[in-house]
Amino acid sequence: MAVDAERAPEARGEAGADAAPARGRRRRGARHALLALGWLCVALGAIGIVVPGMPTTIFLIIALWAFSRSSEQVRSWLYNHRRFGPPLQAWHAHGVIPARAKLAAVAVMAASVAVLAALSHDWIGPVALAAVMVPVAAFIVSRPSAVPAGRRGIGGC
């Protein structure tokens, strides 16, 4: 028995009527997961303000990304926050990563490779980790450490 492509949405590759609520549930679930990730990163960023060696900016950037996909109201709050906003605005407008954050990030990456090398029984794990972390560290170090001179008023920085 042939399926009439004009009448059956499934035959044309279209989802049936039950697909829309399922997509809505997935979107709500993803939204809640992104909100949770955002708040976790805000908490880690806040801890980084007072704990030496703990990065702040990268956690705030991840939080801003998560909030931008889950809650415009929370994203706006974070982006315009008195304490957290300026580094986010500097990153957004100029790609700035503060020197202290660069140092902390590269130090933590180097320590991770060193600890793995000390605890590993072979060389594959440390080399694989270094192969990932060296380009990431190079990217971090290559970013400007401050807003370029004469551009301080641009982008809210």
For the segment 18-44, the average pLDDT, to the nearest whole number, is 81
String of b and e for 79-109 (b: at least 16 CB within 10 Å)?
beeeebbebbbbbebbebbbeebbebbbeeb
For the segment 69-97, the average pLDDT, to the nearest whole number, is 92
Residue 73 burial by Cβ neighbours in a 10 Å radius (0-12, 13-18, 19+): exposed
Residue 110 pLDDT more than 90? yes
For the segment 66-76, the average pLDDT, to the nearest whole number, is 94
pLDDT digits (tens, 9 = 90+) for 146-155: 988 876 554 4
The model's pTM is: 0.62
Work out the mean pLDDT of the chain and round it to a whole number: 83
For the segment 15-30, the average pLDDT, to the nearest whole number, is 64
pLDDT at 79: 95
Q: How confident is the model at residue 100 (pLDDT cuts 50, 70, 90)?
A: confident
pLDDT at 114: 94
Percent of the chain whose predicted confidence (pLDDT) is above 70: 79
For the segment 65-92, the average pLDDT, to the nearest whole number, is 92
pLDDT at 156: 45
For the segment 68-91, the average pLDDT, to the nearest whole number, is 92
Pair of tokens at residue 68? 């931008």
DSSP sequence for 65-86: HHHHTT-HHHHHHHHT-TTTHH
pLDDT at 19: 52
